[in-house]
Structure 1
Amino acid sequence: MERTAVRRRLSWQVATVVDVRRETATARTIVLDVPDWPGHLAGQHVDVRLTAPDGYRASRSYSIASAWTSTTIELTVESVPDGEVSPYLVDVLKPGDPLELRGPVGGWFVWKPEQEGPVQLIGGGSGVVPLRAMLQAHTSSTTPVRLLYSVRRPTSVIYVDDLKELAAADDVHISLVYTREAPAGETRVGRIDADVIDRLTFTPADEPTTYVCGPTPFVETVADLLVAAGHDPARIRTERFGPTGG
């Protein structure tokens, strides 16, 4: 049966941390139980709010890292040096702790299993988070999917084991590009360029819907490369993040 996320007025609610998993030296996944969770679409995000003992509040937006299956959701957070929120989420928060959040938010950068046509995912760094949710949601679809994931070095890869498991599907292809240090046996080191787009993504003739997520300069560069390669700008959806105080 097709499931549809329920739209309702957004309000802050308290979730409980069920588990935490270290992904890299600076990122970890937080598993949350949200009792009144209305459901979400792959690609949506939530607002997280922390309140200090003196009443000071700080909030940040984080992509949902998991497909909707229950009242449990996952967030993967990368710590920003001197940030107000992310260091606490990555290094302090523990199972059993409460966490205030609001969501789901967003309706443009989303993918639904019933969508037709190939899906191209391109992520830079922690920009892979909402794309991982799309890959999880894809398990109920036979649509061809490709993920092009740009990271600095092998130790920067988020979801190492998860990506290997997802790539085992016949209609999923995952490629990694290393910008600073490649693993043994990998000769190319560098950013995504026109050659990478040509070799590792769907062609314009395939008419894919493309989702690009990452830091603003990364997203703008990749979007320009896609358009220059002949992709329809109307089929390119972008989600970008930049300095916000962490």
Structure 2
Amino acid sequence: MATAGTASGAAGSGAPPIPAFAAPGRAAPSLRGKVDWQPATVVEVRRETPNAVTVRLALPVWHAHVAGQHYMLRLTAADGYTAQRHYSVGSAPDDEGHVEFTVDRVPGGEVSGFVHDVARVGDVLEVRGPLGGFFAWPGDRPALLVAGGSGLVPLMAMVRHRRRRRSTVPLRLVACARTPEDLLYAGELAPLPGEEHTVLYSRAAPAGYPHPVGRLDARAIAPHAAAVLADERYEVFVCGSTGFAEHAGRLLTAAGLPTSRIRVERFG
């Protein structure tokens, strides 16, 4: 979950709040305090990468989320022990009655291990949400999305939201992954009209790939930052590990973007 000036592991860690590289700005309303825990039925489990699976849930009580919001997922053992984590919603707000979470396997993770190894169609899980308003994009203004690894999950909800609505609002995406095998949603990342997508790999890339292998740098971010600076309507959303988020934030501010236009969600 994220609030003005703070962010936690909504993308999958369940970590406590830590300082975020962002300043207060427009925020969508949160439903915190208005939503209860409810049983959600698993209707699909699909593998995205060797280390990530998407679980699709049907909700008996459905609240339309804003792209970028998250849910809490809770598991309860027979002895009453509970474990819960925050997971960003990867599906579009228009997907009525359903939400999707894409979950990275965390070594020793109680909830991620269950989702990867145990969850099957027909299982019932407890969820609560949608929650959070700071890191939310209603789709009404241009956006630059910068993702590292599984930080792509809430940003993909924004891409899908734009496409479902057949919006003409400009959208730019910079998606960073270690290798092609680690890239989430690869089949959906070909840009459509009005979209500008850049996929970068830090460890290995396909032969002949037009971008150099390595960490996100100023050269890669420059054309996107220029577009943001040229249009004051743009908002910037950065999501990834703490190290990635801080690095991307420094690149964006070095390119001239004010922190008031940058929203950050980090995990780890």
Query: Given the two structures, how large is their TM-score scaled by the length of structure 2?
Result: 0.83
Distance 2:43 2:52 in 1: 17
Note if 1:59 corresponds to 2:87.
no
1:23 is paired with a residue of what secondary structure? strand
**Aligned residue for 1:38?**
63
2:154 aligned partner: 130
Q: Which residue in the other structure is 1:182 paired with?
A: 205
**Matched-pair contact (CA < 8 Å) for 2:70–2:129:** yes
From 172, 178, 192, give the equivalent of 2:195. Answer: 172
Alpha-carbon contact 2:30-2:130 (below 8 Å) kept: no
Superposed counterparts of 1:1-246, under 5 Å: 7=31, 9-69=34-94, 70-113=96-139, 115-116=140-141, 118-139=142-163, 140=165, 141-164=167-190, 167=191, 169-186=192-209, 188-201=212-225, 202-207=227-232, 208-242=234-268
**Structure 2 residues not aligned, in runs of 5+:** 1-27
Q: Would the alpha carbon gap of residues 200 and 177 (structure 1) be closer, same or farther in structure 2, given more than 3 Å must change?
A: farther
- The two structures, once aligned, show a CA RMSD in angstroms of 1.6
SS of structure 2 residue aligned to 1:197: helix
Asked if the contact 1:215–1:241 (Cα under 8 Å) also holds between the matched residues in 2, the reply is yes
- Distance, in Å, in 2 between the alignment partners of 1:5 and 1:119 is 19
Distance 1:238 1:56 in 2: 32
Q: Percent identity over the alignment?
A: 47
Higher relative contact order (CA 8 A, sep 6+): 2
SS at match of 1:9: coil
The answer (yes or no) to whether the contact 2:144–2:228 under 8 Å persists in 1 is no
Runs of 4+ in 1 over 6 A off after TM superposition: none
Separation of aligned partners in 2, 1:213 and 1:13: 27
Specify every segment of 5 or more residues in structure 1 that has no aligned partner in the other structure, as ranges.
none
Instruction: Provide the C-alpha distance between the structure 2 equivalents of 1:177 and 1:91, rounded to a whole number of angstroms.
Output: 30
**Counterpart secondary structure, 2:189:** helix
